[in-house]
């Protein structure tokens, strides 16, 4: 069992509002990067293929194909450098880790779209 | 001035600091500690403060341990009282499972028996020394114990891949030099790790975060003292 002090210690480093996305979602990850002393936001978009870990160590992996080459980036979930994660599309998936996408190319990498679950809809978002 | 603190290693995790950089920390349950005895030059020949941490069930504590923390009426006590011997001050707490002394240069520490110390005594300290018993590894080979490189996996090496190789010369000196590193008992020894940075001291939860690793298993007792070499 996890000691309660570990949770207390991690409390301040956890994200205040949890990021709302699931494995299989196509997302835009907004990442703050420091150039000299100017901060700028870099967007990495792709499919979430894995989410692992717990507490402050939790992370997720996003995969995209750039110029025919597969690129994967793993982000720590709770880092303050992560500005936001925007969900573009929900994908219908049947497993927690989508490593099988690595072996596929082109059309075979598509995921069937699914509707948003009630808790995935941001109530503050404006209706289009 | 607080002398030190006793605690229990809880485990390791990581937190983000103000710059958004991950810091690897060890979580220590530090305190509450009770001052169980104050040693003085007059009576004991040296100045020190004795702290106790963690309650020990009375049924498991020896009579001596119970009598150390509270008055237990007994024949000897009555005899001493009758003879006019002044009774030592008692903290009046439960028997403690972990008791250690902290040496002081003089009696100016201002601590009294029965006083309780929490994790915030560490708040003004930037660096800590942590003393604990390391994990026992039993009889270990030279690769684990002394970081030897071992031998090759191939090229004719037979059954000696994790051996240390030669332990000395031949007819001169015709003996193994003293102190030659060999397999043997490893771990389970008192280890002091100096200059661990204090990341956070939380008196409310009796929690202390120090940067880096601390010897011993999770749940092991640790002694915390103000860094001896880096008090900046």
Q: Which of B14, B205, B218 comes nearest A8 by C-beta?
A: B205
Closest residue of chain A to B13, computed from CA coordinates: A6
Give, in order, the Cα–Cα distances in Å from B142 to each of A22, B28, B47, B134, B185: 48, 32, 42, 18, 10
**Three-class SS state of B110:** coil
Alpha-carbon distance of B232 to A68, in angstroms, equals 55
CB < 8 Å from A in window 181-220 of B: 200, 202, 205, 207, 209, 218
Q: How far apart are the first and last CA of chain B?
A: 16
Closest CA to B25 of B159, B169, B130: B130
A75-98: pLDDT as tens digits:
999 988 888 898 988 999 999 999
**Chain A touched by B23 (CB under 8 Å):** no
Contacts of B89 (CB under 8 A, 6+ apart): B37, B38, B112, B113, B114
Q: B interface mutation test: which of A1, A5, A74 has the most B CBs within 10 A?
A: A5
Residue A18: what pLDDT?
A: 82
CB contact under 8 A, B207 and A8: yes
Give, in order, the Cα–Cα distances in Å from A3 to each of A54, B10, B24, B200: 14, 7, 17, 17
Residue B144: what pLDDT?
A: 95
- Answer yes or no: is pLDDT of A69 > 80: yes
CB < 8 Å from A in window 70-109 of B: none
List the B96-104 sheet strands across, edge first.
Answer: B96-104, B47-55, B33-39, B116-117
CB contact under 8 A, B22 and A5: no
Q: Two tokens at A38?
A: 């100017």
B177 CB neighbour count, 10 Å cutoff: 9
Task: For residue B13, list chain A residues with Cβ-Cβ distance below 8 A.
Answer: 6, 9-10, 55-57
B2-49: pLDDT as tens digits:
678 999 999 999 999 888 889 999 999 987 889 999 888 888 899 899
Residue A110: what pLDDT?
A: 85
Shortest distance between the Cα of B211 and any Cα of chain A, in A, equals 13
Give the CA-trace dihedral at B118, B121, B122, B128, to 10 degrees: -100
Give, in order, the Cα–Cα distances in Å from B73 to each of B36, B67, B92: 18, 9, 13
Helix (H) or strand (E) holding B81: helix B75-82
Residue A45: what pLDDT?
A: 93
Mean pLDDT (whole number) for B215-226: 93
Residue A125: what pLDDT?
A: 64
CB contact under 8 A, B13 and A3: no
Q: Two tokens at B37?
A: 């005895």
What average pLDDT does the structure give for chain A? 87
Alpha-carbon distance of B85 to A92, in angstroms, equals 83
φ/ψ of B122, rounded to 5, equals -85, -15
CB contact under 8 A, A56 and B200: no
Shortest distance between the Cα of A30 and any Cα of chain B, in A, equals 16
Which domains does chain B show, CATH number per domain?
4-136+189-226 (2.40.30.10), 137-186 (no CATH)
- Answer yes or no: is pLDDT of A37 > 70: yes
Looking at the DSSP assignment, which residues form a beta bridge with residue A31? Answer: A42, A82
Parallel, antiparallel, or unpaired: how do β-strands B127-133 and B207-211 relate?
unpaired
Alpha-carbon distance of B178 to A89, in angstroms, equals 70
B64-73: pLDDT as tens digits:
888 888 888 8
CB contact under 8 A, B16 and A79: yes
Residue A126: what pLDDT?
A: 60
Give, in order, the Cα–Cα distances in Å from A6 to each of A83, A116, B15, B69, B158: 25, 34, 10, 31, 47
- Answer yes or no: is pLDDT of B211 > 80: yes
φ/ψ of A64, rounded to 5, equals -145, 165
φ/ψ of B223, rounded to 5, equals -105, 130
Confidence of residue B1 (pLDDT cuts 50, 70, 90): low
pTM, entire model: 0.83
Confidence of residue B113 (pLDDT cuts 50, 70, 90): confident
- Answer yes or no: is pLDDT of A128 > 60: no
More confident residue, B122 or B97: B97
Which range, A47-51, B28-32, B228-232, is most confident?
A: A47-51
Q: How far apart are the first and last CA of chain A?
A: 46
Do B51 and B2 touch, CB atoms closer than 8 A? no
What average pLDDT does the structure give for chain B? 89
Shortest distance between the Cα of A109 and any Cα of chain B, in A, equals 34
More confident residue, B195 or B122: B195
A102 CB neighbour count, 10 Å cutoff: 12
CB contact under 8 A, A9 and B16: no
Alpha-carbon distance of A67 to A70, in angstroms, equals 8
Alpha-carbon distance of B132 to B191, in angstroms, equals 6
Size of interface A-B (CB pairs under 8 A): 45
Residue A123: what pLDDT?
A: 67
**Three-class SS state of A71:** strand
Residue B203: what pLDDT?
A: 85
B126-174: pLDDT as tens digits:
898 999 999 999 999 999 999 999 999 999 999 999 999 999 999 989 9
B89-103: pLDDT as tens digits:
888 888 999 999 998
CB contact under 8 A, A10 and B207: no
**On the CB side of A106, how many CA atoms lie within 13 Å of its CA?**
1
Residue B2: what pLDDT?
A: 64
């Amino acid at each position: 069992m996890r000691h309660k002090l570990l949770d207390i210690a991690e409390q301040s480093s956890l994200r205040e509002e949890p990021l709302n996305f699931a494995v299989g979602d196509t997302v835009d990850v907004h990442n703050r990067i420091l150039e000299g002393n100017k901060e700028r936001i870099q967007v990495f978009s792709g499919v979430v293929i894995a989410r692992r870990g717990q507490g402050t160590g939790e992370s997720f992996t996003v995969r995209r194909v750039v110029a025919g080459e597969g690129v994967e980036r793993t982000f720590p979930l709770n880092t303050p450098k992560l500005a936001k994660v925007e969900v573009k599309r929900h994908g219908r998936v049947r497993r927690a880790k989508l490593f099988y996408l690595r072996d596929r190319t082109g059309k075979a990498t598509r995921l069937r779209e699914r509707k948003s679950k009630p808790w995935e809809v941001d109530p503050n978002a404006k209706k289009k | 001035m607080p002398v030190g603190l006793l605690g229990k290693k809880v485990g390791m995790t990581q937190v983000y600091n103000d710059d958004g950089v991950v810091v690897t920390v060890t979580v220590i349950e530090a305190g509450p500690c009770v001052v169980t005895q104050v040693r003085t030059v007059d009576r004991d020949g040296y100045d020190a403060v004795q702290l106790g941490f963690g309650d020990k069930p009375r049924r498991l504590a020896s009579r001596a341990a119970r009598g150390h923390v509270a008055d237990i009426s007994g024949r000897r006590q009555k005899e001493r009282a009758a003879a006019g011997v002044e009774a030592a001050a008692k903290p009046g707490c439960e028997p403690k499972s972990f008791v250690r002394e902290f040496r002081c240069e003089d009696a100016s520490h201002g601590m009294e028996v029965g006083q309780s110390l929490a994790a915030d005594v560490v708040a003004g300290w930037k660096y800590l020394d942590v003393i604990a018993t390391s994990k026992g590894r039993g009889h270990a080979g030279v690769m684990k114990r002394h970081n030897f490189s071992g031998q090759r996996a191939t090229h004719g090496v037979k059954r000696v891949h994790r051996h240390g190789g030669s332990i000395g010369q031949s007819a001169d000196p015709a003996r193994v030099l003293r102190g030659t590193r060999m397999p043997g008992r490893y771990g389970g020894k008192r280890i002091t790790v100096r200059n661990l940075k204090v990341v956070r001291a939380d008196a409310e939860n009796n929690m202390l975060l120090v940067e880096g690793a601390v010897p011993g298993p999770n749940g092991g007792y640790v002694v915390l003292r103000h860094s001896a070499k880096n008090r900046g």
